[in-house]
Structure 1
């Protein structure tokens, strides 16, 4: 039983990563029609990366299914995560296709597995809650110290955004229980599917909904914090208002892509959370 559950969860994670890149058209992002704002990656490279990561997902699922205590889970997941990043780099020639997803999906696989282990409801919320408990205090431990004693080395992009603007990025998203997925992406996906949308178009609705609420450090790094906080959110909201049932006219997404291209804007953080949305939908629908 445990083995079959682990295989199911691992397969769901792989399917989610493939569905994300194949969801088209995603403004500024790699999809089946093009490379968006990226010169160093395309759909084929993402699929190659997803395939390289696939064998590792079962280990992250088993961490939860085995009942690894919450306080020990992050260390166990991190050990496999290091191997996953190495496998990704080998498959892509050093291009970072899925680093953020390795962190987020590993936590959700643990959370889903732990929900099954503990007898909790088989729900997206339970999986996200257990994932959050596994990294409780991570923002303060890993970022909070920067305010008290800035390191002598140069700050990473994520660290700089935290120090200057309080942006917590993927750490904050995970520690808060994946609110961009639970409160935005997943409800949007389900509403669209119930209205008769294809899975692809439901995914696009979920992506735009996530873009409106997640702290996307990829956008901030490429176009600046002020752009993300202002024009970016306005453009995403306008596209979402126009992309709706029953027609699901994709013209607003192509228009948004053209606007993003001028600034080389790529909402990669939202794309990772779309993968997480797909995973939790699959998990909770079994």
Structure 2
């Protein structure tokens, strides 16, 4: 069948779910295309990572697009948490196959996947609630009840340091996205109205400054988290991307993270989620 005719034949809801999947994948790529992000992989360098680069992350994002599409479609028909988990498990397997076993986006599959499901659910019902509120109300009670990856870096760090981690964040409706990142993103657009990359850097710094990132706890313990938060807070306190010379200051912080093997992967995932929520209006 002609691709154009096939597209026209798709029901509107299915077409919209596919669009949501592509948007989620694009937001992951936008996160990669942001520099300088302290310790993180970008189109410029690999940050504190030896096992991944920008090309690998983009390949992972492309691999996940159909699964985000499936999650949005599942949300649109009111699927429960068990169904969403099954799609997430399939997504993780596909990701690991595409990356030769490298965990590029496990956290994003979980968080961004739930937001896709919430977007599908919200649009199907025609409601106007924020996506985070939809996640909390629709699946919040079931989110903590699923199987826990006891050996995952985030789970180990969360247990050792008492951090809430990704599950608590999702069950509560993504407060780091709504209370920290979105306000920072909107304020950054006033500071740098013609520089989308600067807006993403500022938003990422705001997240690093305030989130108890389990990836930082895994790599650097409480001292590493404190160093990261203090560094990002100092960047923001001196004007952030609204001040002259901000790119050099941000790059210096990035190199300091690399030297300490620190990578705020949780904040990177939250940045991608924030970009998605912002595009969806929130």
TM over 0.5: yes
| 1:1-286 equivalences in 2 (<5 Å) | 1-68=12-79, 72=80, 74-121=81-128, 126-137=130-141, 141=145, 156-195=152-191, 196-228=193-225, 230-242=226-238, 243-245=240-242, 247=244, 249-284=246-281
**Number of aligned residue pairs:** 269
Measure how far apart 1:239 and its partner are. 1.5
| Alpha-carbon separation, structure 1, partners of 2:131 and 2:245 | 30
Structure 1 residues 158 and 137, CA gap change in structure 2 (3 angstroms): farther
CA distance in structure 2 between the partners assigned to 1:90 and 1:160 by the alignment = 24
Q: Equivalent residue for 1:150?
A: none
How far residue 215 of structure 1 moved from its aligned partner, in angstroms, is 2.2
Normalising by structure 1, what TM-score? Answer: 0.87
CA–CA separation in structure 1 for the residues paired with 2:68 and 2:218: 29
Task: Give, in whole Å, the separation in 2 of the partners of 1:90 and 1:53.
Answer: 11
Q: Specify every segment of 5 or more residues in structure 2 that has no aligned partner in the other structure, as ranges.
A: 1-11
**Structure 1, unpaired ranges of 5+:** 147-152
Q: Deviations over 1:169-192 (max 9, x none)?
A: 101111111111111111211222
Q: Secondary structure at the match of 2:246?
A: coil
Structure 1: how far apart are the matches of 2:74 and 2:249? 42
CA apart distance, 1:250? 0.9
How far apart, in 2, do the equivalents of 1:76 and 1:268 lie? 26
Report if aligned partners of 2:144, 2:171 keep a CA contact under 8 Å in 1: no
- For 1:62 and 1:93, the matched residues in 2 are separated by 28
- 1:197 deviates by 4.1
The C-alpha deviation readout for 1:11-52, integer Å capped at 9, x for no partner, is 210110110111111110000100000011101111111111
Deviates more, 1:49-58 or 1:29-38: 49-58
Give distance in 2, aligned partners of 1:55 and 1:118. Answer: 22
Deviations 1:88-137 (A, max 9, x none): 1111110110011000111001111112122221xxx6211111234423
SS of 2:102's partner is: coil
Residues 65 and 247 of structure 1, relative CA distance in 2, 3 Å threshold: farther
After superposing the two structures, state which structure 1 stretch, 270-279 or 187-196, moved more: 187-196
Normalization by structure 2: what TM-score?
Answer: 0.88
Q: Please, which moves more after superposition, 194-203 or 175-184? A: 194-203
